[in-house]
């Protein structure tokens, strides 16, 4: 396990995951076309302390979530939960699930609510619309705590309505990510509110956005009551994941663009627009993309977290120790 504090690391520090640092995954964390996941995008657990823990992980290229059992040093992949059934001309459209959270007996999986990747501009306007619709959902399901036992699957598109009602966000809806378009990559639940962390847009070059809306408003409610936070996460950084830890929110921050950039972890009180930097993840080389964040436990010197990586087999779950909140 590597310790990563708020101070930058020297260039000679090895990248995380080298020397066998990543935890093994038993069975198979599923990804596109039934293969092993290479686009892991989030993980959350039903309990916050101790091992083993019952958790759910997601890959942003599928329509399902997957139960996993987390032990100290290993992930065991289990049954899947079908989240959506959207199609376009017979082809399954992914939720583009970018974050997962747990609260009140429910897991919540957040769709990106963004424009699909289309670097070569091959998608038709109708397909783009269908893909945006499929990803503009929050899906929740209840679990009894037994792996593979999910029920009461509920979907809501209401967050998109709330985004459209927010003057600072509406101009960025349905724009491509590379033009600072709106896309959500993190979700957390705190005090009855859904917190959606936006990868983009970033305002004024260094203000990442978090949108808060009541669970009751999103599921069965009316109106567009919400709150928008503008957090100073650094130049060109948006939110890559959110996680509740004790009474705070941990924020995994990273570049808005797809190219290389610096990642960091912050703590936020979910009330103000102040953040505390816990770690600069400068030990990562430029080709690695931290995408999921899970708090594990306090240690005698800090906080141990698990990081999942986009673009690596089954997320390459890697433990890291950072400064405490």
CB atoms within 10 A of CB 203: 15
CA distance linking residue 159 with residue 188, whole number of Å: 14
Q: Is the pLDDT of residue 20 over 70?
A: no
**Terminus-to-terminus CA distance in the chain, angstroms?**
19
Among 2.30.29, 1.20.120, 2.120.10, 3.30.70, what is the CATH number of 2-322?
Answer: 2.120.10
Best CA proximity match to 238, nearest among 299, 302, 167, 291: 291
The DSSP code sequence of 82-127 is: E----EETTEE----EEEEEEETTEEEEEE--SPPP-TT--S-HHH
Contact 237, 208 (CB under 8 A): yes
Task: List pLDDT tens digits, range 182-228.
Answer: 999 999 999 999 999 999 999 999 999 999 999 999 998 888 899 99
* Predicted confidence band of residue 145 (pLDDT cuts 50, 70, 90): low
Average pLDDT, the chain: 91
pLDDT at position 148: 62
Model pTM?
0.94
Contact 304, 319 (CB under 8 A): yes
Instruction: Tell me the mean pLDDT in the region 241-259.
Output: 94
All residues at 6 or more sequence positions from 33 whose CB lies less than 8 Å from its CB, including other chains: none
Q: Which two tokens stand for residue 258?
A: 């797809």
CA distance linking residue 174 with residue 123, whole number of Å: 14
CA distance linking residue 38 with residue 9, whole number of Å: 27
Q: Can you give the length of the chain in residues?
A: 325
């Amino acid at each position: 396990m590597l310790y990563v504090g708020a101070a930058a690391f020297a260039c000679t520090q090895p990248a995380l995951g080298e020397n066998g640092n990543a935890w093994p995954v038993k069975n198979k964390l599923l990804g596109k076309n039934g293969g092993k996941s290479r686009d892991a995008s989030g993980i959350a657990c039903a309990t916050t302390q101790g091992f083993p823990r019952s958790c759910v992980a997601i890959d942003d290229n599928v329509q399902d979530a997957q139960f996993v059992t987390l032990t100290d040093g290993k992930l065991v992949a289990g049954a899947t939960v079908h989240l959506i059934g959207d199609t376009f001309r017979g082809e399954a459209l992914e939720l583009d699930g970018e974050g997962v959270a747990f609260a009140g007996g429910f897991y919540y999986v957040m769709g990106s609510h963004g424009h699909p990747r289309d670097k070569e501009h091959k998608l038709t306007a109708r397909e783009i619309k269908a893909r945006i619709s499929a990803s503009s959902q929050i899906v929740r399901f209840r679990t009894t705590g037994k792996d593979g036992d999910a029920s009461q699957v509920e979907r809501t598109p209401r967050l998109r309505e709330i985004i459209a009602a927010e003057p600072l966000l509406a101009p960025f809806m349905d724009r491509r990510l590379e033009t600072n378009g709106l896309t959500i990559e993190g979700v957390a639940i705190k005090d009855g509110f859904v917190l959606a962390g936006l990868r983009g847009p970033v305002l004024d070059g260094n203000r990442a956005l978090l949108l808060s809306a009541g669970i009751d408003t999103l599921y069965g409610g009316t109106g567009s009551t919400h709150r928008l936070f503008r957090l100073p996460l650094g130049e060109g950084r948006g939110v890559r994941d959110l996680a509740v830890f004790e009474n705070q929110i941990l924020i995994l921050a990273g570049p808005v663009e797809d190219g290389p950039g610096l990642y960091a972890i912050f703590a936020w009180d979910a009330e103000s627009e102040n953040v505390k930097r816990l770690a600069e993840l400068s030990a990562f080389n430029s080709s690695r993309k931290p995408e999921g964040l899970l708090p594990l436990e306090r240690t005698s010197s800090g906080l141990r977290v698990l990081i999942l990586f986009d673009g690596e087999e089954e997320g390459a779950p890697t433990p890291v120790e950072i400064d405490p909140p």
